[in-house]
Structures are given as C-alpha cells and as structure tokens.
Amino acid sequence: MKRIFIAVKVNPEETFLEMISSFKSVFFNENIKWINPENIHITLAFLGNTEEKLIEDISSMLKKVCGNSGNLELTIRGTGVFRNINDPRILWTNIDHSEYLLKLADKILIGLTNMNIKLEDKAFKPHITVGRIKHLNNKEIFKKLTEQYQNTELQKLHVNEVILYESILLPQGPKYIPIERFRLE
C-alpha cells in the first residue's frame, strides 16, 4: 500500500512567500504546523492508502486525461480558512475560478470513479494549504492578517503537468515523492 494523491506542484514566488512569512512571524508561538514551501501544491484528488497494483491503472488513466488537455494559467489570490474564522483549522490561499482546472479535476474524478476508487464525498475546492492550525490564542490578529491578504494576488502559475505523488508521513512532516509526471498537452 502507498498513500497517494494527484496534484499540481506550486513553486511559491516572492509575494506568496512574503505572505507566508508574515503569518509565520506573527504566529511563531502558536500551535500551527506550517507547510514546507517545497511541499506546496494544489490537490486534485487524495486517494490515501492505495494498493500498488492499482497505481499502474491510475497512471494509465492520468496519461489519457492529461494528454487530451492543455497547459493552463492560474492565479493564486488571497487567504482564507477552513472551518471558520472564529475557529480556524486550515489557513489556505485561493485559486481564482478556472473552468479548465475544474474540468481537469472532474475528468480525473470520473476516471477514478470508473476504476471503483472511492474518494471523499465533497466538492472540489481549489486551494493551497499553507498551515494546519491546532490551536490559536490570538484569533483577532489572525482574522486581521487574513483579511489583509484576502484579495491580494499572490502569484500567477503556469501549469504544464499533473503529478501522482506518494506521501510518506514522517515525524518532521510529510515527504512527497513524485511517482509519475503527466504532461498537459
């Protein structure tokens, strides 16, 4: 079994890194697990523990889906939280609406469903997780900083591949190892 997911890699650039740094410098004493910048990505599908014999079939499906697509441009903009601002659990950045990205994720979901692979039953919400919040003492300052970046364009992202990753959980944080890359052509 391998713990796997399908994603678009994001190499954060200056404005994006500055936003992360702003949060980290203000909340350095809080119980927040920050995502390592080299692990930043947009998850298209999280499969979790998957039998290795299925990975070849998943790769074949991704080859077909990605081979009939094209490159895309995305805009990473603003910050938000999952759960709610009064009890935040995930700090994330938003991806501006992209029909192309939604269609790509939908094609992948259909491909996985046709293979009888069960996924979480929730709608695809394109985002980038920046930090996982265990506990937060100063929610007012957190709220203000989140609002400060709410509509800030953080980065343009040119996407030309989708990656099938293995996620290995380690005490110092997860390690993401590309299993295979699929060109968007």
Segments making up each domain of the chain, as ranges: 2-183
Does pLDDT of 113 surpass 80? Answer: yes
Residue 171: pLDDT band with limits 50, 70, 90: confident
pLDDT at 56: 95
CA distance linking residue 47 with residue 169, whole number of Å: 15
pLDDT at 75: 97
- DSSP-derived letter for residue 36 is P
The candidate with the shortest Cα–Cα distance to 6, out of 57, 38, 48, is 48
pLDDT at 61: 97
Does pLDDT of 58 surpass 80? Answer: yes
Q: Output the average pLDDT for the chain.
A: 94
Please list, in sequence order, all residues whose beta carbon lies within 8 angstroms of the beta carbon of residue 145, skipping any fewer than 6 positions away. Answer: 22, 23, 26, 79
Give the global pTM: 0.94
Q: What is the mean pLDDT of residues 179-183?
A: 97
pLDDT in tens, 8-40: 999 999 999 999 999 999 999 999 999 999 999
pLDDT at 185: 82
List the CATH code of the domain at 2-183. Answer: 3.90.1140.10
Q: Report the SS3 class of residue 35.
A: coil
